[in-house]
Amino acid sequence: MTAQPSGTTSAGVARVAHRAVGSAEAEAANRASWDADADDYHAEHGDFLGDADFVWCPEGLTEQAARLLEDVDGTDVLEIGCGSAPCARWLLTRGARVVGVDLSEGMLTHGVAANARTGLHPALLRANAERLPLADSGFDVACSAFGAVPFVPSLDAVFGEVHRVLRPGGRWVFAVTHPMRWIFPDDPGPAGLTVTQSYFDRTPYVEVDDADSASYVEYHRTLGDYIRALRAAGFTLDDLIEPEWPDGHTRVWGQWSPLRGKLFPGTAIFRCRRD
């Protein structure tokens, strides 16, 4: 049931487990996993994501079309889990001052190369979104396209940090795998249409190595869990966008496919405002 749009790396994976995983184990596992997967991720998805484009999700919705962040000209924007930061570079072209944060040095190394290719240089910072090394109230907008939120055990930690670094009234917009996908196997074909596990089972998805240590971790939350955590952190939810699969879009990305996308949502984008 992985939310990782790339599909996970098979490096070092012995088997899939379902068990509790705390913050330190998840951080170590996911950092190593994204470092190991960074080259493959960009070989597979780099063309689709672009060097300086803001693609929200495998359905192909772009910020240029959706305008979920509104006018960013002259604003301070933080991208959480920026990967190689194509969204951050696009935001620069729209007149924003941008900082991109990511856990993985491997992903950020691709970002540094893309900065050099494009001449667009958002500040890139290696950090865990649970502990942002940034001052209070420094940003007008925070955004994330499948970065960090699915990979941390506590929504409260990330939402609390985003709230802290945003100015009052600031926007927080983030995309995650739609929670209803959790109930299906990670299969883009017909096997991915049959329910195999409970929507209400929040036990994390964990890949473990031969020593039973986590090598990749992902967390599931229901829609209600997200809404309660946002309210508790001090955000108002303005909209929940469930991008529809566009006609003529044939690209398969991991478990995202035209077959499934025509039947049920694959992505949920929460559009919120800091109180």
Ligand X SMILES: C[S@@+](CC[C@H](N)C(=O)[O-])C[C@H]1O[C@@H](n2cnc3c(N)ncnc32)[C@H](O)[C@@H]1O
Nearer to ligand X (CB atom), residue 37 or residue 194: 37
At residue 274's C-alpha, the angle toward residues 273 and 275, to 5°, is 110
Between helix 86-93 and helix 105-118 the angle, nearest 10°, is: 30
Residue 42's nearest CA partner among 126, 112, 129, 132 is: 112
Q: Which of 79, 77, 42, 243 is nearest to 174 (CA)?
A: 79
Using a 10 angstrom Cβ sphere, with 0-12 exposed, 13-18 middle and 19 or more buried, the burial of residue 159 is buried
What is the x/- site pattern for ligand X, positions 148-187, by CB under 6 A? x--xx-----------------------------------
Q: What is the dihedral of CA 167, 169, 164, 127, to 10 degrees?
A: -80
115 or 190: whose CB is closer to ligand X?
115
Q: Nearer Cβ to ligand X, position 105 or 210? A: 105
For 260, residues 6+ apart whose C-beta sits below 8 A from its C-beta are 184, 188, 192, 193, 266
Q: Which is nearer to ligand X, 53 or 242 (CB)?
A: 53
Indicate whether 107 belongs to the interface with ligand X (CB under 6 A): yes
Among candidate residues 270, 261, 263, 216, the one with its CA nearest the CA of residue 58 = 261
Q: Which residues 19-78 are close enough to bind ligand X by CB under 6 A?
A: 30, 34, 49
# residues near ligand X by CB under 6 A: 22
User: 10 or 196: whose CB is closer to ligand X?
Assistant: 10
Residue 254 within binding range of ligand X, rule CB under 6 A:
no
Q: Which range of residues in 65-73, 98-106, 225-233, 236-244 is near ligand X by CB under 6 A?
A: 98-106
Question: Judged by CB under 6 A, does residue 103 bind ligand X?
Answer: yes
CB of 205 to ligand X, least distance (A): 14
122-141 binders of ligand X (CB under 6 A): 128-130
Query: Would you call 79 exposed, middle or buried from its count of C-beta atoms within 10 A (0-12, 13-18, 19+)?
Result: buried
Which chain residues interact with ligand X by CB under 6 A?
4-5, 30, 34, 49, 81-83, 101-104, 107, 128-130, 145-148, 151-152
